[in-house]
Structure 1
Amino acid sequence: MPLPDLILRKTVSALEEIWHEGGPVAATPLRRASVMSILKNPFAGRYEPEIQGFMEDLKPLGLSMAQQLLDMLGGPERIEGYGKGALIGEAGELEHGALWHAPGGYAMRQLLGSANAIVPSSKKVGGVGARLDVPITHINASYVRSHFDSMEVGCNDAPRADEMALVLVMSTGPRVHSRSGGLEAWQIKGEDGLR
């Protein structure tokens, strides 16, 4: 079945600068940014057995969103964490959010150049104004505990029933007062994307 062109309604971006969480003020803040694209869900309102082709249509959107994040945060050399997510309007299904895994994750990894870890993700079906916690992990080793983080995203008028809201998130470092132990960024071996 041929798919319609992407119908993008709007894009929402956010930038956080975190100086402290009650402890000492950091010399340089942790920066987290998100970009959310709200678009028409071409499968809303019906069950469609063949949906994988839509991933190809989403690739340019993923690259555009990833580039916007890099511009917001100062370039690929500044990025240490990433994540992705999808909010699907109530006329869609969770599987429609799974179509964002490849285009969203590969876009960030492509523009970062050296990112070995799997891009963590979350997705859910929700009504207008739903919020989503997007997980963040280190770009080269998923087990780096200092970079286990998340960023809450949402939009007051999305996703409408026939829409999907696709999200990418990047961060510039560990949680501002990280002290929970475990594998540290300087201990990454880079053999498998985990450690």
Structure 2
Amino acid sequence: MPEPILRKKAIVVEEIFHEGGPAVEKPLRRAAAIAVIKNPFASQYVENIEGFMDDLKPLGVEMAGDLLKALGGDASVVEGYGKGAIVGSAGEVEHGALWHVPGGYSMREILPASNAIVPSTKKLGGPGTRLDVPITHCNASYVRSHFDAMEIGINDAPKADEILLVLVMTTGARIHARVGGLKASDVKGEDGLR
């Protein structure tokens, strides 16, 4: 399979101090690493596309590393994650699904407490399309306070023959989380759920 042809990358970092309630001492930080690549399968149906996942692995590892650096470089502060893809109009949603393994495993490799499945979303769209990337706790999917999303997009991507790939990490729960459920402090980390 061909190696990914990268057109552009971006890092987005948010610091959230409050959502209308009292400001917190330590803001929630969430960040996204974005890469826009050429879709090698655009404008054609290719039966065997699975091999491209191996070609995406180095890019996934690089993006996860960039994301961790953007959050200060300490993996122990990362509590949530997610991934996603926007496929340009000459592709198909299945091309975005190629990001599942290289995107998810790249983050799980650098985060020691990451037993939970990395939530994901994908869709077709043109330049400027926005994607709500789902976020959950990285060690226990049932931690309700960490159910979140980060909206991502780039004004000129993806073009018809491109794929926009994204990884997201956060340093904690929603800033004013208070709807109960399993607390992050009570996670056992045995099965990725609780």
Same fold (TM over 0.5): yes
- 1:148-163 to 2 correspondence within 5 Å? 148-163=147-162
**Structure-2 residue corresponding to 1:101:** 100
Could you tell me the percent identity over the aligned residues? 65
Unaligned ranges ≥5, structure 2: none
**Distance in 2 (alpha carbons) for counterparts of 1:164 and 1:9:** 10
Q: Which amino acid aligns with 1:179?
A: R
Following superposition, the deviation at residue 114 of structure 1 comes to 2.5
Q: Deviations over 1:117-140 (max 9, x none)?
A: 000001000011100000000010
Aligned residue pair count = 193
Q: Which amino acid aligns with 1:145?
A: R
Following superposition, the deviation at residue 142 of structure 1 comes to 0.3
> When the two structures are superposed, what TM-score results if normalisation uses the length of structure 1?
0.98
- 1:143-182 to 2 correspondence within 5 Å? 143-182=142-181
Following superposition, the deviation at residue 190 of structure 1 comes to 1.5
**Distance in 1 (alpha carbons) for counterparts of 2:60 and 2:47:** 24
**Structure-2 residue corresponding to 1:22:** 20
Runs ≥4 in structure 1, deviation > 3 angstroms?
Answer: none
Give the root-mean-square deviation of aligned CA atoms. 0.6
Instruction: Please tell me whether the aligned partners of residues 119 and 135 of structure 2 are also in contact (alpha carbons under 8 angstroms).
Output: yes
| Equivalent residue in structure 2 for 1:71, among 69, 77, 85 | 69
Following superposition, the deviation at residue 5 of structure 1 comes to 2.2
> When the two structures are superposed, what TM-score results if normalisation uses the length of structure 2?
0.98
Q: Which amino acid aligns with 2:55?
A: D
DSSP 3-state at the match of 2:131: strand
**Distance in 2 (alpha carbons) for counterparts of 1:186 and 1:114:** 13
Q: Which amino acid aligns with 1:120?
A: P
Following superposition, the deviation at residue 113 of structure 1 comes to 2.3
**Distance in 2 (alpha carbons) for counterparts of 1:4 and 1:122:** 24
